[in-house]
Structure 1
């Protein structure tokens, strides 16, 4: 925990509302995004975010300063999501831990810098299409770059369950993006074939006609 955050927590625990507002500003974007990605409903996500910070404010006097504030806060968010979506906890408990404890850490489906607007939109749609269990894990791992251990602590889950769940979520995302890229490639090839067909038709129409050739290229 950085010293600046320790100071804010210490002040907020003594009732300093300005210090707590600074903590809220620092963590609110991810708290809201985590709830939204998990629950899929903006109104529910807003309610969970507000309730999470209210509980954090009330619980700060008992917060152990040797713990990570973010892990503690995200655990509050996760517990609230469990309450609103009971199937979420059941889905996490149902993940069978892979026999290989150290699963190969699949890379994210695409590098952030390589995302076009269209591909980014498709990736987010693919994430939204994951089961809530996997959406939550992906949001914590890639939305906040949390370690596997921090995720396990926040969600009160065995480390192996977290690794297995994230591995399977990434495989599903990779499959969705590969299908999208295959469809896009097919559309491009079909477009090229159609263009070649138009060009051949223009050549067969009669004597060389520059105007017809320009029309075929357009």
Structure 2
């Protein structure tokens, strides 16, 4: 009788007494491991696995596979090439028993590898599971949330007294003439009541600090000489 088991993303056809190499399992030499992902055993075919079936095997040793050499060369890169080697870690097993039914999983599936359990893990899992079931669940009491108190933001500068609700005569000056003012910034100025050059020209240091904060462009007005430019454009308009 033979069985087809799955472990480490690969499938293996095994019979009792076979020695196989599989992807590394967390088990020591001499331990017994059990594979529970059985695709086929005897005349039983799983969908995808055979319920209750298992394959037991004894760990012979932890080994490494043959060394593989990979040569990497990048196109259009002068003298760009690399050689690297790899040895896959494997577990050497001897199949001892094929179980068509009654395989004991003990609730510790994947304790060693994909679909496998070790004898030591099976023995350790039983008292741990009993202890977990007997332990009463502690009720979590939510700690009272501290009320957040936000300190009021300190006012920056002084609000200009010459802000308007709308442009005079319904016609605003082209504030984009000022260096550093684009369509977006012009829209922000309109939202804050600034429509004309003479409004900007009349600002003092406190008004400049206030508008800098409102426009979120710290130092922009002074850095780009808005006051001087606005004064010049206002004079030209007259």
- TM-score range for the pair, normalised by the shorter chain length: under 0.3
Length-normalised TM-score, structure 1: 0.26
